[in-house]
Structure 1
């Protein structure tokens, strides 16, 4: 046993850098932790879990993660942090002890702390936005979920106008409409979503875009990003394949396109379009949708798919970039996201089997399905029109 403990201690000082090895070790350590915890470990882990989010928000408000990260590798006392934050030293010490007990910061001595790898992560602006999004937007929905499910006799939520979100936020508006009226919430969401995909594998790592759009000219319509937001994926495409000739088009509503990151200067056209309507651009080599269908139940998703399929020709594909939850052995990141979608949007992340059922309803077939992030289940589903 002492040898195992020593090996684990050694790994804390020199963890694997390969993402696959790191994920495998992380999953193994979670299983080990679950196997060895006693009943009181279990109940406190479950009971106290909301506190991690709540006091991470408090710590972010107080600038604790940011300050410790800025002075790293130096250590700093709780007394000094309290002075700098203009906070009660007793309150500050209690918060710091809590954060250290969950390894969000490192305790080096009595009332003395420094940044660890988790502190540096939580100090990043987009991760602070993620904490704020979780606390201000998602937590109220989750609190409302148990009673909502009981009141609806445990039916699967499928009405975006009547779900835990509306109860949690005391509104009749769907989630995105509500957030649009609260600019800070939307800004945090956009910043958080951008960060979750930065420095990660992308759909272009598993889909051979260049192979599909070969033999094109500057007039060829090679890429249409349907509901593409402010254009992160168009920008990624142009960075990855700067020399492929052809038209790249970003489609979304005007209110979104006003904030687009890309323009004709970067070789990207913008076009106002509502994906509930007929797709006006015909015969594109690649139509692309990211994280749209998970916002809607199957009957609505079929309408969106068919509006694009009707514009496709024999050289066209529709690349759907979304999560595929494995039918068995799903990772907690994907199941947690699924619960978030249910509480916030009365929506869903689909399993592999559920994707097949949706595509059958839409009358299309998947030419390929490939996962590019094993932890989150982020995948591409490449569709061709049924013959």
Structure 2
């Protein structure tokens, strides 16, 4: 068995992202084929316990405690630091060890794994709380919601499993704004999903940046880059590092609750903005929306695009950083994401659906720059008709 495991590790070390996911896919299939029906049923029934125990672990500070400690800790030491009963901890830790969230290094002794460190990070901890407190009840509400509504598609973000789960008439975002703790967790989760990979080998961006004057921006200049719904400004920070000429030519926009308390970002103008209102920044070269459009049904998504289109010049472009699902053979990550977004009224879209959405807003798809082929993550470039 050890030589086989070593071979898999060796393959993973030299694999690209698509290759890595293919290895995982094959291993999942092997697991399914090797499991007995009893094994499979036990795994399905017990899946909810994982999220519950992650939440308990975060509440107790277990992951932070283990991650900070260089060596293993006895159950009694963990109990002393958390004020939890050793008897209760023993049972919880044993389960977390069995599921590889932490490592059982000896009898009643545990240490951190790579996953433990991920969960101990503030972004990882926020993911735990967002997954359990905000999204967990929605998942629980989905079966009854679908049955009550005759298993019809969700097209209205005020009538989704979210409203049923949280007993509200508000959209998920309006509700989150009124729940500061949950809203902050979401912002941290979004930050953890940020990255600048989309700029790699993206000729449109590189070509336009090359045209920027070497002099400082003038008062009459329109901004080059507007990050619409950009949260805490990760994308602007990354772009400023990669393209210093953009400093002073970028605008970060999001709701007041997201940007109101942000510290200044060098070279970035921070503005409170609701993208369901007219876009106040006119004539920018690029309007960038990352993980925004999949949050909304077609009607609302088209409204966001129309507000942006009204502010564009003929040489302006909208960059939608999102997923383009293939017509067949979509992987589990993208199909899971689609179901997760559906529960809030949103959707992941195919190429044909992106074309249809753009047309409904008076735009057209000019190109699609796929930058992570394994997860279908791409920049959908929109131009005025």
1:285 deviates by 1.4
1:125-136 equivalences in 2 (<5 Å): 125-136=122-133
Cross-structure match for 1:141: 138
Conserved in 1, the CA contact under 8 Å of 2:247 and 2:267?
no
Q: Structure 1, residues 239-288: CA drift from partner, whole Å, max 9, x if none?
A: 2211247622223344443133545xx12223444323333433321121
Per mean C-alpha deviation after superposition, the further-off stretch among 232-241 and 202-211 is 202-211
Change (3 A) 1:171 1:300: closer
Deviation, 1:289, is: 1.4
1:84–1:12 Cα change, 3 Å: farther
CA–CA distance in 2 between the matches of 1:252 and 1:193? 13
Deviations 1:167-202, CA, capped at 9 Å, x for gaps: 1112222212222222111111111211122xx453
Superposed CA RMSD in Å reads 2.4
Question: What is the CA–CA distance in structure 2 between the aligned matches of 1:125 and 1:17, rounded to whole Å?
Answer: 30
| Contact residue 327 and residue 353 of structure 1 kept, 8 A | no
Q: Which of 185, 202, 222 in structure 1 is aligned with 2:197?
A: 202
Q: Secondary structure at the match of 1:251?
A: strand
Residue 33 and residue 48 in structure 1: after superposition, are their counterparts in 2 closer, same or farther (change >3 A)? same
> How far apart, in 2, do the equivalents of 1:13 and 1:53 lie?
31
User: 2:287: which partner in 1?
Assistant: 287
TM-score by length of 1: 0.89
Per mean C-alpha deviation after superposition, the further-off stretch among 249-258 and 13-22 is 13-22
Q: Is the 8 A contact 1:216 1:246 kept in 2?
A: no
Q: Distance in 2 between matches of 1:14 and 1:81?
A: 37
Q: Identify the residue that residue 171 of structure 1 maps to in structure 2.
A: 168
CA shift in 2, pair 1:326/1:236, >3 Å = same
SS at match of 2:76: helix
Name the SS for the 2:66 alignment partner.
helix
CA distance in 2, matches of 1:186, 1:155: 29
Cα distance change, pair 371–44 in 1 and its aligned pair in 2 (3 A): farther
- Any gaps of 5 or more consecutive residues in structure 1? none
- Show CA shifts across 1:122-152 (max 9, x none): 2212101101110111001111110000000
Q: Partners in 1 of 2:79 and 2:14 — Cα distance?
A: 35
- Please list the CA deviations of residues 280-331 of structure 1 after superposition, one character each: whole Å capped at 9, or x if unmatched: 4333211211222222221222222122223323322111111222222223
Residues 229 and 260 in structure 1, CA contact (< 8 A), matched pair in contact too = no
1:63 matches 2:65: no
Cα 1:269/1:125, change in 2 over 3 Å? closer
Of the candidates 208, 212, 219, which is equivalent to residue 208 of structure 2?
212
Aligned length: 377
CA contact (8 A) 1:279 1:307 kept: yes
Q: Which runs of 5+ in 2 are unaligned?
A: none
- Residue 317 of structure 1 corresponds to 317
What's the offset of the Cα at 1:335? 2.0
Q: Is the 8 Å Cα contact of residues 231 and 261 (structure 1) preserved in structure 2?
A: no
Q: Tell me the distance in 1 between the aligned counterparts of 2:66 and 2:50.
A: 18
Distance 1:34 1:294 in 2: 31
- Which residue of 2 is the match for residue 41 of structure 1? 39
* Counterparts of 1:14 and 1:105, CA distance in 2: 25
Shift of 1:349: 1.7
- Deviation for aligned residue 1:86: 1.6
8 Å CA contact 1:165–1:175 kept in 2: the answer is yes
Distance 1:272 1:244 in 2: 20
Contact 2:196 2:235 in 1 (8 A): no
- Deviation of 1:102 after TM superposition, in Å, equals 0.9
Q: Does 1:229 align with 2:231?
A: yes
